[in-house]
Chains A and B, each alone.
Chain A
Amino acid sequence: MFKELDPILHSQLRLAVMSLLMSVKEAEFTFIREKTNSTAGNLSVQVQKLKESGYIDVNKQFKDNYPLTTCKVTPKGIEAFENYVKALQEYLQVGK
């Protein structure tokens, strides 16, 4: 039986955000927006969904009077991502 792909991760932008955050310790919102080539509004919604799922931590603060949002992946997020990649590998092996 195949594992079902995690619906939270199985979305273009959310998967991109998680893949990026898996590779770094933490990243600012502007960095993620630039690397994923997304709009601020869309990214904001997806980041909120990932946060509600407990996959990422979002820290909002002010620096020089500008809002500064940083994101980092949580242990739950790491586990979910690893399971997603495993499931993906199973699908791809059978598809060969």
Chain B
Amino acid sequence: MHDNEKELSQEESLMIIQQMINAAKHEQKDDGKGWIAWGWMLFIASILTVVNLHFKWFSTFFFWNIFGAVTLVMMIVGVVKGFFVKSKGRVKTYTKSLFEKLNAGFFICIMFNIFAMNLGVGPAKGFALLIGLYGFWILIYGTALDFRPSVIASFITWTFGFIALFQTDFEVVMLLHAAAVLFGYIIPGYIANREFKKLTGRKLNQSAGV
């Protein structure tokens, strides 16, 4: 846009507004990598716990303790990076601000749940409630990004969570937990990643004039 004082027609004005709104919309796309990583971590911890319950290698929550330690290290690395490494984000969208608060609230709720499990709620019911919490996070994230697979995934996740509520066998709860994260995080994450790659590929082609 070079001619800044050029007389605009009403149609041209409308076109500029539309173009810029679309340009801003592209900034709100998620590459899905976070969902994939988080989903696989939860999935592996669930499946290893099931295997561990069968073979009785370690204590029941051995793999969940490892998961907790890894998550804690990743969170500390993330916070330190946020303080010391130059941010690439040249734009702050309303969606990004919402996600920051949503993620903070989500982790606080997870902590509540973990405390509740240790204070008598029990692991079987506790994990069922956690699945319910995942569903809530997935629904808000999917709605804010206007990403239909996540919206559908949230209801699938809740279904697994609801079934888990009635299970007393922790092994079954772990299998339901694994299924919930597979449908709630991993599959939508890969779909989001594929769409993101398509979008960035299109943008690169456009800027190269292809």
Residues of A within 8 A of B (CB): 5, 10-16, 19-20, 22-28, 30-31, 35-39, 42, 45-46, 63-64, 85, 88, 91-92, 95
The answer to whether A88 touches B14 (Cβ under 8 A) is yes
The answer to whether B5 touches A24 (Cβ under 8 A) is no
Contacts A12-B8, A16-B1, A91-B10 given: A25-B20 contact, CB under 8 Å?
no
Q: Kindly state whether residue B21 has any CB partner on chain A within 8 Å.
A: yes
Residues of B within 8 A of A (CB): 1-6, 8, 10-14, 16-17, 19-21, 23-25, 27, 86, 90-94, 96-97
22 A-B residue pairs with CB within 8 Å: A5-B13, A10-B13, A11-B8, A12-B6, A12-B12, A15-B13, A15-B17, A19-B21, A20-B23, A23-B21, A23-B93, A24-B24, A24-B27, A24-B91, A25-B94, A30-B90, A31-B91, A35-B20, A38-B2, A42-B2, A45-B4, A88-B13
The answer to whether A92 touches B21 (Cβ under 8 A) is no
Residue in chain B with minimal CB distance to A46: B4
